[in-house]
Amino acid sequence: METTVTATNNIKKVLPAILATAIFMQMLDSTILNTSLPSIAKDLNESPLDMQNAIIGYVLTLALLMPVSGFLADKFGTKKVFIFSLAMFSIGSLFCSLSQNLTQLVISRVVQGIGGSLMTPVGKLALIKTFQKKELLKAMNYAIIPALIGPVLGPLVGGYMVDYLSWHWIFLINIPIGLIGILLSLKFMPVYKSPIIDFDLKGFLIFGAASLLLSIALELFGNTVTNTPVLLITVMGFLMVYFYYRHAKKDNNPIFPLNLFKVRTFRVGILGNLATRLGISSIPLLLPMMIQIAYGRSAVTSGWIIAPMALTAMFGKSTVIRILNRFGYRTTLMTNTFVIGILICSLAIPDVHNSIYWYIPIIAVLGFFNSVQFTSMNTISIADLRAYHTSSGNSLISVNQQLAIGFGVAFGLIVLKIFQGDTSLIKNEIHNAFRYTFVAVGALTILSGLVFRRLHPKDGLNMRTEE
């Protein structure tokens, strides 16, 4: 019998804010570091290329431990695990700011990763178990906004901190946020536990190896002279996925039961997340890179160009419930994905002689539709999960999203490299390579919308809520 709590109105009011705090801290930290690596490398007397280890160490820890987040929450309770994750992330942030060399920084990032791998999945699990289906859309919609504004504000905030303070502050900023989250969690985080028959150690090791190998491949891409090792690691990663499939068919209590995929809305949500993020996730990287390389502008300027995306994402949050109530998940996701693809393609219209401010209205509209997309995909994925599948399903969604973002960034860089190497096509103009990349990525996004045809018009009716 699952242990539950009676959710008071206060818990229901504060819980989405607690999850939002955790997501914001994690998203801000993962994006803020990218713009600060050169400054950190200089201060630690390291090559900027070697600093990639600080990012890889964090990402690999996420990939390894995220699959076990559901089990830990069921075993020890959502409250204990969530507070532990916030504490580990905050302690890791403190250690990062005190690091005197690259080794210390990498170890500190691993400590951060232990916290980061549990924060979001366990926070979402508490949210799913606290709110009824009709309330969940509104709650999730509120909590997910930091995932939209974090990648936008991260480079901007990081640029200013490095320029006007020091790189230490990009980690120290997490500590007060983490303490607020811990204090709120002590009072308002509910306790949910489930009886554990056994822990699927073999399945965890196989799936963990798959996540680890695929994450290594994604992080190494672009940093190696030849892509052969990356392809080999990728093949090994997918081979481990196949081995897990074989294992899960035989095991009585696998860490991720295969009958999760018999739930059509979950299956479509997982696949749709993976497919559409291939295009969406590459834009926060490609557009600032183009503004800096092709237009020769500063990192802060490129940050301000994409900043409107955060504002319109907030506006999208306030309208997505009305949109879903009126049109349903199938129509909304198919249409919305198509619009996002067209907007990404339209980033290719300006040439290098046009003003960079031409991109602002495109990126602003894109922020709105991204907001609708993420809220819709995340909620349809859990719409029809049974109570006994909630923990494992939620963990798998988190792992899938983490890998999907990485695949999206890698895909954008692969396409850019292909066009960059074709000098006759781009006419020795690097800006043209970015323009062709936007068209290719946008076209793929449009095609990814076909995944949502598998939804039925009435899917998600149990998630619709009063506005």
Query: For position 279, what pLDDT does the model report?
Result: 83
Using the structure block, give the residue that is written with the tokens 């319109």. 312
50: three-class secondary structure by DSSP: coil
Quote the domain boundaries for residue 351.
Answer: 261-467
Please indicate, yes or no, whether residues 186 and 329 belong to a single structural domain of this protein.
Answer: no
Please indicate, yes or no, whether residues 138 and 214 belong to a single structural domain of this protein.
Answer: no
- 430-448 and 390-421 are packed helices; what angle lies between their axes, rounded to 10 degrees? 150
Please indicate, yes or no, whether residues 46 and 188 belong to a single structural domain of this protein.
Answer: yes
Please indicate, yes or no, whether residues 33 and 67 belong to a single structural domain of this protein.
Answer: yes
Query: For position 341, what pLDDT does the model report?
Result: 94
How far apart, in whole angstroms, are the C-alpha atoms of residue 24 and residue 20? 6
Contact 175, 90 (CB under 8 A): yes
Please indicate, yes or no, whether residues 241 and 335 belong to a single structural domain of this protein.
Answer: no
Query: For position 464, what pLDDT does the model report?
Result: 61
Please indicate, yes or no, whether residues 213 and 184 belong to a single structural domain of this protein.
Answer: no
Please indicate, yes or no, whether residues 190 and 321 belong to a single structural domain of this protein.
Answer: no
Q: What domain count does the chain have?
A: 3
How far apart, in whole angstroms, are the C-alpha atoms of residue 379 and residue 372? 11
Of 182, 199, 216, at which residue does a domain stop? 199
pLDDT in tens, 244-276: 889 988 877 788 888 888 888 888 989 998 889
Tell the burial category of 180 from Cβ atoms under 10 Å away from its Cβ (0-12, 13-18, 19+): middle
Please indicate, yes or no, whether residues 376 and 463 belong to a single structural domain of this protein.
Answer: yes
Contact 192, 77 (CB under 8 A): yes
Of 254, 287, 321, at which residue does a domain stop? 254
Task: Kindly write down the DSSP assignment for every residue of 316-384, as one continuous string.
Answer: HHHHHHHHHHHHHHHHHHHHHHHHHHHHHHHTTSS-TTS-GGGHHHHHHHHHHHHHHHHHHHHHHHHTT
Q: For the chain, list residues with pLDDT below 70.
A: 1-8, 30-38, 47-52, 146-152, 155, 159, 162-163, 196-197, 219, 221-227, 299, 422-428, 462-467
Please indicate, yes or no, whether residues 217 and 357 belong to a single structural domain of this protein.
Answer: no
Please indicate, yes or no, whether residues 421 and 395 belong to a single structural domain of this protein.
Answer: yes
Query: For position 3, what pLDDT does the model report?
Result: 44
Tell the burial category of 323 from Cβ atoms under 10 Å away from its Cβ (0-12, 13-18, 19+): middle
CATH number at 47 reads 1.20.1250.20
The answer to pTM > 0.85 is no
Please indicate, yes or no, whether residues 179 and 222 belong to a single structural domain of this protein.
Answer: no
Query: For position 407, what pLDDT does the model report?
Result: 79
For the record, the structure tokens of 322 come out as 């009305």
Please indicate, yes or no, whether residues 294 and 228 belong to a single structural domain of this protein.
Answer: no
Query: For position 34, what pLDDT does the model report?
Result: 61
234: three-class secondary structure by DSSP: helix
Of 161, 178, 199, at which residue does a domain stop? 199
Query: For position 187, what pLDDT does the model report?
Result: 86
How far apart, in whole angstroms, are the C-alpha atoms of residue 195 and residue 183? 28
